[in-house]
Amino acid sequence: MYQALYRKWRPKTFDEVCGQDHITSILKYEVENGKVSHAYLLCGPRGTGKTSCAKLLAKAVNCKSPVNGNPCGKCSACLAIDSSTVSDIIEMDAASNNGVDYIRDIREAVVYTPAELKYKVYIIDEVHMLSSGAFNALLKTLEEPPAYVIFILATTELHKLPATIVSRCQRFDFRRIPNQVIADRVKEVCRSEDLPIDDDAALIISRMSRGGMRDALSMLELCSASGGSITAESVSRSLGISSSDEVESFVDAIARRSIADAFRIIAKIDSSHIDISVFWQSVIEFYRNMIVIKTVPSSADYLELTSAEAERCGELMKSFSYERLIYNARELDDCSARMQRNSSQRRLYAEMSVLRLCDESFDGSASNLPVRVSALEEKVSLFRNVTPDRKKAERSSENEKPRTGSVRISPEGQPDAVKEDAVSETENKKAGSEPAPERVFREFRAWPEAVELIGKENKAVSSFLRSASVLTDGEHFIIKMGNSFAADMVSRPDSLEIVANAVSSVSSSETTPSDIEVRTEKTDGNIKRDIMSDLN
């Protein structure tokens, strides 16, 4: 009789359980030394080995000749458990048997000694599905069961269990299995089953399994159903996921800001067997890889990519600034959420997102501000590299008109300060004095904490200030507001006193109301226009 691969290759000993050595080593020690607990709680993601370990533990505690804590698999007890002919191993699915009556039946049955084995073992899977009444009925029995009874509870959602249940069990947390461990196991199964598979295909299956060995073997079985060699292309086709070439072509189109090419790829995906939302998740994963490669020197420690994938990802990463990578990743994630809310409009959402990915001006929110500032910085760097003759000509023309302020660019290329309005150099010379020293104002990063303190004193003032931006040179503070009425309310003496006290509390300076200036001028858009006018 044919068996599914994940059932056929279920571990026979604790040593065969993949990726959970921190748990199996303890279970083997307890079995070998006769220190078995009365209740166990196995929790973790699906397909990571919880049920397999529960069955192995039930077999090991009843085995007549265990080997280093593992069941021998040859004694009468092991053979009876494998054939499912014993009545002392009771497996229960709490998802379908979650009422209090089922637990009462267990409570009444535990008083009877095992019929064949040394221990009577109750394995309750998905225990978080039990009703509150069932949990209450289980408490006393779980805390003090007879010496010949062992409870093994398994769950994927530990947070749904009452603390009273968790405290009565020996808890083990199962981890997601590393991709390379799953890939090695997949190749081992393929060798035994005479299924030809290449390394890239095994790696794709391991990544799609999300750390679950059972899911990986189920996917392998699906991919092998068509016969022939299992390749990366056949895996993508069988699992309905996009190939790496399609994802790379799409990201390349975004990098080149080619809306037409990106639309063409989306149309191809929509007309194929691939779900657009699944393709979108692959694009998000590719962006995550690019961000890691761009920000972490030893990216190979965090990414599990083939050499070709890592090389191509590194090449495309160079086409993006750090700010644009972050903006694009957020936009892709927002689009994915919209697709989940309304699955019938997935293509429309994808195309709308492409417009914003290729041209940030389609996004009316402030989330694209870092990208726009980064583009302005590039223009400023070009402005710095003009020839001396051109610089002299530009200075002479600029001196003919008054300057009201500009953005200062730090050596690292970040806009970090705004020049305070100052008397022009010509007027200073006429007055017979040296030019006033330049006061450099930076963003006041502790402003959110200050607003929270202000809210404790006056909620109305704090509501006006939540959307304000604040610049400081360490001694003086400029509060920029977009509403004149709000600025008037904040400019009142009593309001300024509250603001000054809050700023003093969150900064190292002693601030007085006279150190604070409230303005309704120069929003971020004004600053951008000032820079552009300077460049022109």
CA distances from 524 to 209, 357, 416, 529 (A): 45, 21, 13, 9
pLDDT score for 333: 92
Long-range contacts, stretch 426-434, CB < 8 angstroms, 24+ apart: 426/399
pLDDT-based confidence at residue 511 (cuts at 50, 70, 90): confident
Contact yes or no for 42/54 (Cβ under 8 A): yes
- According to CATH, the topology of domain 244-364 is Zinc Finger, Delta Prime; domain 3 (1.20.272)
pLDDT-based confidence at residue 371 (cuts at 50, 70, 90): low
What is the number of other CB atoms lying within 10 angstroms of the CB of residue 530?
17
The span from the CA of 105 to the CA of 127, in Å, is: 16
What is the number of other CB atoms lying within 10 angstroms of the CB of residue 229?
11
pLDDT score for 438: 57
Torsion, Cα of 242, 246, 250, 251 (10° steps): 90
The span from the CA of 394 to the CA of 405, in Å, is: 17
Strand partners, 472: 442, 477
Most confident residue range from 55-64, 318-327, 490-499: 55-64
Of 14, 57, 61, 54, nearest to 34 by C-alpha is 61
Contact yes or no for 89/63 (Cβ under 8 A): no
CA distances from 151 to 39, 46, 104, 172, 173 (A): 5, 20, 15, 14, 17
Contact yes or no for 322/290 (Cβ under 8 A): no
Answer whether residue 353 shows pLDDT above 80: yes
What is the number of other CB atoms lying within 10 angstroms of the CB of residue 58?
25
Contact yes or no for 474/509 (Cβ under 8 A): yes
Half-sphere exposure of 360 (CA within 13 A, CB side): 19
Single-letter amino acid, residue 115? A
- Length of the chain (residues): 536
DSSP 8-state code for residue 303? -
Residues 6+ apart with CB under 8 A from 533: none
pLDDT score for 138: 86
- According to CATH, the topology of domain 179-239 is Helicase, Ruva Protein; domain 3 (1.10.8)
Of 334, 416, 415, nearest to 375 by C-alpha is 415
The reply to whether CATH 3.40.50.300 applies to domain 5-173 is yes
Single-letter amino acid, residue 336? S
Of 431, 436, 433, 434, nearest to 419 by C-alpha is 436
Both structure tokens of 463: 């509501």
The span from the CA of 303 to the CA of 292, in Å, is: 8
pLDDT score for 54: 92
The span from the CA of 304 to the CA of 194, in Å, is: 26
Domain layout of the chain by residue ranges: 5-173, 179-239, 244-364, 374-439, 441-523
* pLDDT tens-digit readout, 386-410: 445 554 455 555 554 444 444 444 4
Over residues 360-377, the mean pLDDT reads 68
Over residues 62-74, the mean pLDDT reads 88
Q: Pairing relation of β-strands 149-155 and 440-443?
A: unpaired
Computed over every residue of the chain, the mean pLDDT equals 80
Cα-only R_g, the chain: 33
Over residues 45-64, the mean pLDDT reads 90
**CATH code for the part of the protein at 441-523:** 3.30.300.180
Residue 376: alpha-carbon gap to chain centroid:
30
Contact yes or no for 241/273 (Cβ under 8 A): no
pLDDT-based confidence at residue 471 (cuts at 50, 70, 90): confident
pLDDT score for 174: 92
Q: Let me know if the fold of 5-173 is the same as that of 441-523.
A: no
The span from the CA of 10 to the CA of 50, in Å, is: 11
The span from the CA of 419 to the CA of 417, in Å, is: 7
Contact yes or no for 536/499 (Cβ under 8 A): no
Give residue for tokens 């150099």. 425
The span from the CA of 212 to the CA of 452, in Å, is: 44
pLDDT-based confidence at residue 378 (cuts at 50, 70, 90): low
Angle at 221 between CA 216 and CA 222, to 5 degrees: 100
